Chain A
């Protein structure tokens, strides 16, 4: 039996980052994927970054992750979102050439000597005394390990819907991982169903580009990773079009074949990224919805029409696409579909993304109820770091809300749970003014270095950049990267606000030291807590007063009651 410190199941954005992070922290790692060729695939839209998401990409990069550099290697269109607003809410986003993105991820993984890629389907987890001991593959082989990171995306119990058609799968034409899903359910982990969807893909050669408003790439030379020093690829323009009243009629008439409206899909979908049938249903009075036509690659005719995710039948999809200006003769090369999948209620996880119920089992990505590549990647890094920490008895890696969006997201997940796929938003970060996409390196890399998560190349880069920061603060501009000059200038602009927030942060950390017990019995003994509050707290199981104060629906009065009770005990 082969033996590894850490086994990562899944080769998507969470899995690859988890495997690489665990390897950076010194663990021997096996990454198990059904198809090694698919490692690093972008299953849905061909873009990386965005509002809130761009912050995560930069933070993953600050922890020496893969995503930002892969995005830079593959970027064929750059756009800084919210450019007219304050820097703290600007979101870098690129369109990435699918093939180049995947190639970059695979290339980066290949550089890790202590990381082994294994093709196969993870079939079952073997436990010994409640701890993870090994992973059994479908081919009958077994891999012994101390820690497992599950990053199975939409593959657990994955079911694909299009019109009246149904298929088992996590992505189109790929098998689901049902056995593993069944086992997790059998272990009585709290699980639920969520759904997401993807639009039809178009053949770009059949789009009437001349009739459409182009959206060119940004001119300024920003990159996702400060490590990237290679020039940009040739840049392509996106184009903007809109649905019409005719489109909406087609959709309304097609709802009879909709799995969403027929009640076949039980899982909740993302409000933030609704299907076009949802939009038409909910905002029926709008005369049109925007569609961004995004090229999927430099030497790839496929076009991703962002904004018309749908699971209507193939015939309806054909008709709806052709009702849109510029797409009158467009050919669909792959129809859109919805996928419904199992997720683990993330409240069963701790801040390391470890499952409290099974020692050595970590979960990351869409499996935890999130949506988006960036959210998945960020969780992957943290789960990977902690899986390695478990195997090598190192310090846990957790990020608090004042340090990064990664911390905000994980804290939200493990305390609040999800009722729809969780997407990063800047609104979720209370210390937003401090947590800018442009200062992720300054915020996180030094700390990451103390955890031993950085490669020597990154360490050298970081030393250089820190020296530049010092120089910039002293007013020296020569030889300092332009992004650092801007970062220091912005630091100054926000300084008065950050000063004020530092008090709040100190307070948060102080409340973080006030331990509370959140089992039913202890909560019942807290006077003044209503049954509703007890239920909410029990489900989220906060460990500190600070965490309790953030559990959804928990009132200030309930927090005061918990606090008073904690004083009474001591």
Chain B
């Protein structure tokens, strides 16, 4: 017998309302125990919830959804409570005291939806992103995936690839028998080119991890260039220690910030120098260089000529120093908020380019790697050796099917469900 599970499904109290969901075979009984009678299915009704002694717990908007056409595929009860901590705790305690009911594990509601066939794997992954989404852009990307847009595209590719594969197979199995293939004149690479283009386009989508974790903006340059001051100014708070002493920042400092619906990770680094006797500073410099390698955007506060490729060249301490306005991209002064806002505008513009149009969805690491595998297999099809071409088509086909869930593995699922917070 499946347990019936419950959890607070809205944000942490206190809040205006708190939604507690109950899913499983005892959901109806649990609702009746608390509310006396339940409103008709799928219709909200106001009910007075009472504990076993008859004491009032709360006045709650109560909804009951009979399985299997529910979010989890099971009977589902929703209690919209007043969002105080005490109220929620009391209702949860009343639920926990019922036989067959227990608190949900993290991700358990979605796990049940998946097990009960209410979601496919790609949708479940999209939902995980949606629930974690903190910014509007993350939300749009996740929603696209949860709605199954990506699944539809992949099914279309699979159809088209199997058409191509069928022609190759006909050539291999009947090529010597005249009848079937006489008229085909099979030329594979042009046949596959449109699919390859579409797949490559999908691969240019931003990684969903980047959306989740934020665009990584790294401040770098020589010692005492004003990186930490600028770091603080961009954050709007004194997160880094700022002194006039060269080499104050000896480690990597990181802070998250959301601007105009986009998440960022700002990274302050140790000043780059070749002359340090301080082993701690030396380690900091090594780390700084490592950060430069993974940065989405570098703010370079050193000599413009020494800037890494594609770095945004900043003339910092604009109030103290003269900068050559031709060779730097932007001049800032931490004492001039307008210059900081203008820098943010540039960062935002660069990031938008980086992230592209998210309305069509972002790409998971798992999807990206399978898609890359499929794409490189298709790119290897050269029309010379049909047997190997057929094998490449088969590899592409398998990889795409795996995105839809054929290749579900234990580890992948655990990783997926490990990301849910309780009650979703």
Binding site for B on A (CB under 8 A): 51-52, 81-82, 85-86, 88-89, 91, 279, 283, 286, 289-290, 425-427, 430, 432-433, 497, 500, 504, 527-529, 549, 556-557, 559-561, 563-565, 567-568
Q: Are B405 and A89 in contact (CB under 8 A)?
A: no
Q: Are B395 and A86 in contact (CB under 8 A)?
A: no
- Smallest Cβ-Cβ distance to A497: which chain B residue: B391
Q: List 15 A-B contacts (CB under 8 A).
A: A51-B174, A85-B387, A426-B172, A426-B173, A427-B390, A430-B394, A433-B391, A497-B388, A527-B117, A549-B406, A556-B404, A559-B405, A560-B121, A561-B115, A564-B408
Distance in angstroms between the alpha carbons of A89 and B391 in the assembled complex:
12
- Smallest Cβ-Cβ distance to B114: which chain A residue: A564
The one of A81, A427, A500, A560 in contact with B169, judged by C-beta atoms closer than 8 angstroms, is A427
Q: Are A560 and B408 in contact (CB under 8 A)?
A: yes
How many B residues have CB within 8 A of the partner chain? 34
- Smallest Cβ-Cβ distance to A80: which chain B residue: B176
Q: Are A290 and B169 in contact (CB under 8 A)?
A: no
Contacts of A563 in B (CB 8 A): 408
Per the 8 Å Cβ criterion, residues 160-208 of B in contact with A are: 169, 172-179, 182
Which of B118, B390, B395, B401 has the most chain A CB atoms inside 10 A of its CB?
A: B390
Q: Are B169 and A433 in contact (CB under 8 A)?
A: no
Q: Between A and B, how many residue pairs show CB distances below 8 Å?
A: 87
CB distance from B196 to the nearest CB of A (A): 20
Q: Are A557 and B179 in contact (CB under 8 A)?
A: no
Contacts of B369 in A (CB 8 A): none
Distance in angstroms between the alpha carbons of A89 and B173 in the assembled complex:
8
The one of A52, A91, A557, A561 in contact with B404, judged by C-beta atoms closer than 8 angstroms, is A557
Distance in angstroms between the alpha carbons of A567 and B414 in the assembled complex:
12
With A427-B172, A528-B73, A564-B114 as given contacts, are A500 and B395 in contact (CB-CB < 8 Å)?
yes
Contacts of B391 in A (CB 8 A): 432-433, 497
Q: Are A86 and B118 in contact (CB under 8 A)?
A: no
* In the assembled complex, B337 has its CB within 8 A of some CB on chain A: no
- Apart from A549-B406, A557-B404, what 17 extra A-B contacts exist at CB < 8 Å? A82-B172, A85-B172, A86-B386, A425-B173, A427-B169, A427-B172, A427-B390, A430-B394, A527-B115, A527-B117, A528-B117, A556-B401, A556-B404, A560-B121, A560-B405, A560-B408, A565-B115
The one of B115, B174, B401 in contact with A564, judged by C-beta atoms closer than 8 angstroms, is B115
Distance in angstroms between the alpha carbons of A289 and B182 in the assembled complex:
10
Q: Are A557 and B73 in contact (CB under 8 A)?
A: no
Q: Are A290 and B387 in contact (CB under 8 A)?
A: no
Contacts of A529 in B (CB 8 A): 117
Contacts of B388 in A (CB 8 A): 86, 497
Contacts of A279 in B (CB 8 A): 179
Contacts of A433 in B (CB 8 A): 387, 391
Distance in angstroms between the alpha carbons of A52 and B177 in the assembled complex:
13
Contacts of B172 in A (CB 8 A): 51, 82, 85, 89, 426-427
* In the assembled complex, B68 has its CB within 8 A of some CB on chain A: yes
* In the assembled complex, B116 has its CB within 8 A of some CB on chain A: yes
Q: Are B405 and A556 in contact (CB under 8 A)?
A: yes
Distance in angstroms between the alpha carbons of A561 and B117 in the assembled complex:
6
CB distance from B324 to the nearest CB of A (A): 55
CB distance from A183 to the nearest CB of B (A): 38
Per the 8 Å Cβ criterion, residues 81-100 of B in contact with A are: none
Per the 8 Å Cβ criterion, residues 383-424 of B in contact with A are: 385-388, 390-391, 394-395, 398, 401, 404-406, 408, 410
CB distance from A395 to the nearest CB of B (A): 31
- Smallest Cβ-Cβ distance to A87: which chain B residue: B387
* In the assembled complex, B120 has its CB within 8 A of some CB on chain A: yes
Contacts of A283 in B (CB 8 A): 179
CB distance from B141 to the nearest CB of A (A): 23
Q: Summarize B's interface: helix, strand, loop or mixed.
A: helix
Contacts of B390 in A (CB 8 A): 427, 432
Distance in angstroms between the alpha carbons of A432 and B117 in the assembled complex:
34
Contacts of A286 in B (CB 8 A): 182
Distance in angstroms between the alpha carbons of A561 and B386 in the assembled complex:
35
Q: Are A81 and B73 in contact (CB under 8 A)?
A: no
Distance in angstroms between the alpha carbons of A433 and B393 in the assembled complex:
13
Distance in angstroms between the alpha carbons of A559 and B175 in the assembled complex:
34
Q: Are A568 and B387 in contact (CB under 8 A)?
A: no
Contacts of A565 in B (CB 8 A): 115
CB distance from B142 to the nearest CB of A (A): 20
Which of B73, B176, B179, B394 has the most chain A CB atoms inside 10 A of its CB?
A: B176
- Smallest Cβ-Cβ distance to A272: which chain B residue: B174
Per the 8 Å Cβ criterion, residues 17-39 of B in contact with A are: none
- Smallest Cβ-Cβ distance to A559: which chain B residue: B406
The one of B68, B115, B175, B394 in contact with A568, judged by C-beta atoms closer than 8 angstroms, is B115
Distance in angstroms between the alpha carbons of A504 and B179 in the assembled complex:
34
Q: Are B176 and A82 in contact (CB under 8 A)?
A: yes
Distance in angstroms between the alpha carbons of A568 and B114 in the assembled complex:
12
Q: Are B387 and A86 in contact (CB under 8 A)?
A: yes
Distance in angstroms between the alpha carbons of A82 and B175 in the assembled complex:
7
Q: Are B387 and A425 in contact (CB under 8 A)?
A: no
The 7 A-B pairs at the shortest CB distance, nearest first, are namely A528-B117, A86-B387, A427-B169, A527-B116, A556-B406, A560-B405, A290-B178
Q: Are A289 and B179 in contact (CB under 8 A)?
A: yes
Q: Are B405 and A527 in contact (CB under 8 A)?
A: no
Q: Are A51 and B114 in contact (CB under 8 A)?
A: no
Per the 8 Å Cβ criterion, residues 245-286 of B in contact with A are: none
CB distance from B380 to the nearest CB of A (A): 11
Q: Are A81 and B176 in contact (CB under 8 A)?
A: yes
Per the 8 Å Cβ criterion, residues 278-314 of B in contact with A are: none
With A549-B406, A559-B406, A564-B114 as given contacts, are A425 and B169 in contact (CB-CB < 8 Å)?
yes
Distance in angstroms between the alpha carbons of A91 and B116 in the assembled complex:
47
Contacts of B398 in A (CB 8 A): 504
The one of A52, A527, A560, A567 in contact with B73, judged by C-beta atoms closer than 8 angstroms, is A527
Contacts of A527 in B (CB 8 A): 68, 73, 115-117
Q: Are A290 and B401 in contact (CB under 8 A)?
A: no
CB distance from B408 to the nearest CB of A (A): 5
